[in-house]
Chains A and B, each alone.
Chain A
């Protein structure tokens, strides 16, 4: 079966100049990401800031062209940006951002904003359609007359969702959709996303740094570190028995009331994508790193034994781990 979405070896480079006379430095924001998403399923993409998860989301939608690699949507390559087929395809894939207030136009009513994509794509944009969309995300039709500042954070994110659903998309890329919301509202929005997925068979690319939310939402999880996927698998497998040392540290950093202390605390800061370490990008912070890790970048491949996708020399059993003194 053809997956809804397939991205192969995506690379995105930016060039950055340090100072006025500095040489331009190449920054690889995304460095060879391959992912596939089945129709009606959710792929969770986790990682820390700067790991390239949002850039990956933008490339998947065609908002940004990859420097290398390609994206296939329903088995066909992405049409060139700006072309008519591209515009038509954009209606079938939508994006939801972190900050609903930033994503909404403050001077337009919610109703007008939900109707806008319908008008752009030449669909009937009558009140009945707008009200049905609002009802679907748990808003009242009378709230169509409200302005964004008159709504609460959760209601705003619901409006953003209503607008994204207007063109009946089959793919929704959600970039940190709940991070700006309060805990009790996060649960409402996550439940809503799951309901919508079940009713309409939408596939979700759920980008988040919150492993709890990713587990709640996803059918598969991919962990990213500095532009690459380092581990991929079923959410419970990755969260309960992470194979990659970075995934292990991430999981152990989840604040958990039932555990006190004994977590893996990584040394150092997340690395700068402009100064990517040699070999495995994680090796300077890795508690298990061996000399090979600094020389050769590990490939993402199934681990012998259980077939977990992991990019680590040690987890793959190629070399014995070396424990640095704590």
Chain B
């Protein structure tokens, strides 16, 4: 990602009715890169992208900067955003059935995107829609153009969503929990499809997920988020080999192992603080096994632990004594 970042987010913060939801997030994505955002519900991983693309309701107060290839898009005029959204940056969501219009045929919904972003219409648009459906692995694509969303399964609807996202030939696809509503065998199909598309088109991918395993298999780099901030950022292998932030360590220890002896899971005690009752210092401090008095002074900044590996912790480093990592997550 050296030099030419495709998207550069700086100090992005979001507040709803004065309650902070996102508390200063900075990240960048290079051309063709795959970045994973992982965290629990309410940590701000989806809000980051909804805010960046201007998709939040008016009452949300958004500050900071979001640059797409050097051009500021945060608070940009609607005309600029219309070209960015669905064109240069596309987004897909968790529940495909509620993202599609139930009363329009699939074909019409794809050609609508083609007309808006590529100026195609008529037979050319229909032909391109068929090609897109084939690209996303839809069997019998020509006939499916005339199907309604309710006639398709959840996995097929998610393929349609991906086809619509690809219609604008985006440079970046933001996939927000794209497989959470799907069965595991269908999840495997969609993840494989996303990897293939990225290989074929050179598109960058941001994958938002609560599932570390999904991120591990799909992304090169990963940001772990907690309570509206990035707490750790590094290459994916590195996160699994040597997580530094106690929250990232805790997340991994809480995952039941597939191999090795079965023993009680090292659960993270307590729960995520409410946004209106954030601790003054590190938001993870009340649940942290390495907590010391200094943690409550101020939120720790995201600093490099080793080159290319950042953590927001004043005592970063090896796994704590309380939360042993399962052997499968350690390097062989």
Which residues of A come within 8 Å of B, CB atoms? 48-49, 152-155, 182-188, 190-191, 194, 209, 211-213, 215-216, 239-240, 249-250, 252-261, 263-266, 269-270
B268 at the interface (CB under 8 A from A): yes
Centre residue among B187, B189, B217, B267 by max chain A CB count within 10 A: B267
B267 with A216: CB separation less than 8 A? no
| CB-based contact A212/B184 at 8 Å | no
Given A184-B267, A259-B217, A249:B185 Cβ within 8 A: yes
Cβ of B321 within 8 Å of any chain A Cβ, yes or no, is no
Q: Which single member of B185, B240, B328 contacts A250 (CB below 8 Å)?
A: B185
Nearest CB of B to A51, in Å: 9
Would A212 and B329 count as touching, CB distance under 8 A? no
Q: Which residues of A contact B264 (CB under 8 A)?
A: 191, 194
Chain A contacts for B212, CB-based, 8 A? 183, 255, 257
Tell me which residues across on chain B come within 8 A of A188, comparing CB atoms.
267-269
Contact of A212 among B214, B258, B267, B268 (CB under 8 A): B258
With A216-B265, A255-B211, A257-B212 as given contacts, are A184 and B183 in contact (CB-CB < 8 Å)? Answer: no
A216 to B268, CA, bound (A): 17
B251 near A184 with CB under 8 A, answer: yes
Query: What residues of B have a CB within 8 angstroms of the CB of A270 in the complex?
Result: 153, 183, 185-186
Q: Which residues of B contact A49 (CB under 8 A)?
A: 183
Contact residue among B240, B255, B262, B332 (Cβ-Cβ distance under 8 Å from A183): B255
Which residue in B153, B191, B216, B236 is a CB contact (below 8 Å) of A256?
Answer: B216
Chain A residues whose CB sits within 8 angstroms of the CB of B210 once the complex forms:
182-183
- Evaluate contact between B153 and A269: CB separation under 8 angstroms: yes
Whether A253 pairs with B188 at a CB distance below 8 angstroms is: yes
Answer whether A154 and B271 are a contact pair too, CB < 8 Å, given A212-B256, A265-B189: yes
A-B contact count (CB 8 A): 124
18 residue pairs bridging A and B, Cβ less than 8 Å apart: A48-B184, A48-B185, A152-B272, A153-B271, A185-B267, A191-B265, A211-B184, A212-B255, A216-B265, A249-B185, A253-B188, A255-B211, A256-B213, A257-B216, A258-B240, A258-B328, A263-B192, A269-B155
B264 to chain A, nearest CB (A): 5
Shortest B120–chain A CB gap in Å is: 30
Q: Which of B227-247 contact A (CB under 8 A)?
A: 236, 240
**Partner among A194, A249, A252, A254 whose Cβ is within 8 Å of the Cβ of B213:** A254
Which residues of B have CB within 8 Å of A266?
185, 188-189
CB of B156 within 8 Å of the partner chain: yes
Q: CA separation between A261 and B217, bound complex, in Å? A: 7
Chain A residues closer than 8 Å to B329, beta-carbon distance: 257-258
Of A155, A187, A215, A254, the residue contacting B254 (CB under 8 A) is A187
- The answer for the CA separation of A48 and B262 in the assembled complex, in Å, is 24
Whole-angstrom distance from the CB of B262 to the nearest CB of chain A? 6
Cβ-defined contact, A250 with B254, below 8 A = no
Q: Is B15 an interface residue (CB 8 A)?
A: no
Number of interface residues of B (CB under 8 A): 43
Which of A48, A257, A270 has most chain B Cβ within 10 Å? Answer: A257
CB distance from A199 to the nearest CB of B (A): 14
- Cross-chain contact A254 with B258 (CB below 8 angstroms): yes
Q: Known pairs A184-B254, A212-B258, A266-B185. 13 more at Cβ < 8 A?
A: A183-B211, A187-B254, A188-B269, A190-B265, A215-B257, A249-B185, A253-B184, A253-B188, A255-B212, A256-B216, A257-B236, A265-B189, A270-B185
Q: Does B250 contact A (CB under 8 A)?
A: yes
Contact of B266 with A by CB under 8 A: yes
Beta-carbon contact of A263 and B188 below 8 Å? yes
From known contacts A184-B267, A265-B189, infer whether A215 and B240 are also in contact, taking CB-CB under 8 Å. no
- Asked if A152 meets B271 with Cβ closer than 8 Å, knowing A213-B256, A239-B258, A256-B213, the reply is yes
Chain B minimum-CB-distance residue to A264? B188
Closest to A48 in B: B183
Contacts of A256 in B (CB 8 A): 213, 216-217, 258, 328
A183–B217 CB distance below 8 A: no
> Contact: B40 with A184, CB < 8 Å?
yes
Asked whether B192 lies within 8 Å of A265 as measured between CB atoms, the reply is: yes
Q: How far is the CB of B94 from chain A (nearest CB, A)?
A: 14
Q: Are B258 and A215 in contact (CB under 8 A)?
A: yes
Query: Does A255 contact B186, Cβ atoms closer than 8 Å?
Result: no
Task: Please measure, in the bound complex, the distance between the C-alpha atom of A187 and the C-alpha atom of B256, giving whole angstroms.
Answer: 8
Q: How far is the CA of A259 from the CA of B329 in the complex (A)?
A: 10
Q: In the complex the two chains form, what is the Cα distance from A256 to B271 in whole Å?
A: 25
